[in-house]
Amino acid sequence: MAVDESRRTLLSYWWVLPVAGTAGAFAYMANYARRVTLDKHAPGPPNFQPGPRQAVAKLSELQGPYSFREFQYRKTPCLLMELPQPTPTGVTVGGRHFAAYSRLCTHLGCQVNPIADTELLALSYNYRAEHPMLGCPCHYSVFDPQRQGQSVFGKALFPLARVQLRAEGDTLYAHGLEPDPRTGQG
Ligand code: FES
């Protein structure tokens, strides 16, 4: 009899586990949403570490806003992009604007890719943008090349490292690179 009674008491608490599990899941999701939206770091003042002068592209090799060229600088995969607007750390030549970034995602280091099709971006990254972005295929972080590589969506909290550019004649050169924005170390 006593066994039946204690079994009934135990069964009356059947709801505790699912409720606790659901509450835990909501708390996790709320914390994740807060982290990936409010904990983003905006690009600060440039922190370029000088490096060798390296030709990246001739101006004629880019064909308007969001056209790009990949290159390696100090063994780091990078990307030069023409932009419709100037950025504080990019260069402007003859009314055209350029910026360059490390392609190493500041979440776990996969390589970001330019995504020109904003519908594709919305479908595959779940992020709706007005213009092409840089996307990381590993965990779907999105970076805005027009906002100095700032992470605008996903697990990456820090902006991409910026490349220091210089224009000489009809050629763009890299001559510096920021260290890893997460650690401040190259
Ligand atoms: S490595 Fe880029 S989002 Fe995780």
Q: Residues 151-161: pLDDT tens digits?
A: 999 999 999 99
Residue 116, number of CB atoms within 10 A of its CB: 13
How high is the pLDDT of residue 148?
98
- Are residues 11 and 81 both part of a single domain? no
Query: Residues 120, 140: contact at Cβ < 8 Å?
Result: no
Does pLDDT of 3 surpass 80? no
How high is the pLDDT of residue 6?
83
d(CA 144, CA 157): 13
How high is the pLDDT of residue 36?
67
pLDDT confidence bin for 179, thresholds 50/70/90: very high
- Are residues 147 and 75 both part of a single domain? yes
How high is the pLDDT of residue 17?
87
**Residues contacting residue 75 through CB under 8 Å, at least 6 positions apart:** none
Q: 151 alpha carbon to ligand 1 midpoint, in Å?
A: 11
Report the nearest atom of ligand 1 relative to the CA of 105: 2
pLDDT confidence bin for 9, thresholds 50/70/90: confident
43 part of a folded domain:
no
Domain that holds residue 101: 49-177
Q: Say if ligand 1 is within 6 A of residue 139 CB.
A: yes
- Are residues 94 and 150 both part of a single domain? yes
Mean pLDDT score of the chain, rounded to an integer?
Answer: 93
Mind listing the pLDDT tens digit for each residue in 104-153? 999 999 999 999 999 999 999 999 999 999 999 999 999 999 999 999 99
182 part of a folded domain:
no
- Are residues 109 and 53 both part of a single domain? yes
Q: Which residues of 81-115 are buried (b: 16+ CB within 10 A; e: fewer)?
A: bbbeeebebbbebeebbbbbbbbbbbbeeeebebb
* Residue whose CA lies nearest to ligand 1 atom number 1: 108
Total domains in the chain come to 2
Report the nearest atom of ligand 1 relative to the CA of 106: 2
d(CA 150, CA 144): 5
- Which CATH number fits the domain that encloses residue 94? 2.102.10.10
State mean pLDDT over 169-173: 97
| Closest among 155, 147, 134 to 40, alpha carbons compared | 155
